[in-house]
Structure 1
């Protein structure tokens, strides 16, 4: 977490100068089962997560303090830092611990209202810690139009990834039109998919009042 012009810059926010790797780095490859899949010419173990999804490479601008630096690109999320905070359930603003005695706090858009108990909620937004919950609710780009719903979550298993589908061709590999629909782990579509955000399913949650939580913290 850094600050500019008295405004915090969340850890997951992309910075100027951070660039995605070239399409030329990708190729048609073969998995351990011998079936064709998307891969990198110089692929390493770090390019795939533990469930086999291939992740898009993106440079990082990191300062001497080990934190991101540079002008923020407010509406963009850095894939590696989003993956890190979502995987480890760390705060998306400060990358500190997000766990509370009651679970993890997630902020979702209020566009469709508060989810009912037992509803299926999937999110690519990492949790927030209580000290930065109010800041995130007021400044997060994905909440700025419809406001937020605060969920205290006791169970949030990994679900899958958001990214870009690809296909092989005589000219190499080509990106296909896609959307932000998460692809679950285990889906065969992941063989030709480049992940950019990690997704969890929120279960056993309770809608909470953010003001009450922050006041009690």
Structure 2
């Protein structure tokens, strides 16, 4: 059976917009990273600039280890299944997620875990458990979260120097509860999982 292509998965023909499209602009809240030509949806309601992906010609393959920033953001904002883009499953125990423990996970994991993985519907929770290559690398749990408030964004932070752009090597997490990073180019939206119950596959 061929592997299902999750809606949020990045394709090899989708590439990041060139750094030459970025600039520094003066806004009412100070200087910040911007695109030279603006498009609707470039920023979220918190003012974070989001990474753009451009289509390139040729055959593509699914990059299961990466997510498309716009599609990931869409599913996380609207609680849509990361595989089919339909509403994620929810019952009295909460929203349905698949999660795994990471180095940075809190001691209370999976309670109060931060996740950039959008929720799933019941059907595709089962399919993901069978097919997702990413889930084969370590133990995971299927869980319900009664609350999953938006927590913040993560991305590369840019700084313009006399020699051009300098960036952080790794993604930086920026919580909504703290001051926004004006040089961030966001690529992932995070939610915090609260009221967690580990469950069997539905």
TM-score calculated relative to the size of structure 2: 0.87
Q: 1:131 and 1:194 mapped to 2: Cα distance?
A: 33
Q: Say whether the 8 Å CA contact 2:142–2:198 is kept in structure 1.
A: yes
Asked whether 1:56 is paired with 2:51, we answer: yes
Asked whether 1:89 is paired with 2:85, we answer: no
Q: Say whether the 8 Å CA contact 1:109–1:142 is kept in structure 2.
A: no
Aligned to 2:186: 195
Q: SS of the counterpart of 2:151?
A: strand
Aligned to 1:37: 32
Q: Aligned pairs, how many?
A: 198
Shift of 1:171: 3.7
Q: 1:110 and 1:173 mapped to 2: Cα distance?
A: 34
How large is the Cα RMSD of the aligned pairs?
2.5
* Long gaps (5+) in structure 1: 62-68
Q: Say whether the 8 Å CA contact 1:98–1:129 is kept in structure 2.
A: yes
Shift in alpha-carbon separation, 1:148–1:160, aligned structure 2, 3 A:
same
Q: SS of the counterpart of 1:8?
A: coil
Cα deviation 1:40-88 (Å, max 9, x = unaligned) = 1112342101111100011258xxxxxxx94212222111111111111
Q: Say whether the 8 Å CA contact 1:111–1:146 is kept in structure 2.
A: no
Shift of 1:145: 1.2
Shift of 1:114: 11
Q: Say whether the 8 Å CA contact 1:137–1:148 is kept in structure 2.
A: no
Aligned to 1:65: none
Aligned to 1:168: 160
Q: Say whether the 8 Å CA contact 1:38–1:192 is kept in structure 2.
A: yes
Shift of 1:99: 3.1
Task: Choose the corresponding residue for 1:139, options 108, 121, 131.
Answer: 131
* Long gaps (5+) in structure 2: none
Shift of 1:138: 3.4
Q: SS of the counterpart of 1:30?
A: strand
Shift of 1:29: 1.4
TM-score calculated relative to the size of structure 1: 0.81
Q: Compare the two structures and name the one with the higher helix fraction.
A: 1
Q: SS of the counterpart of 2:32?
A: strand
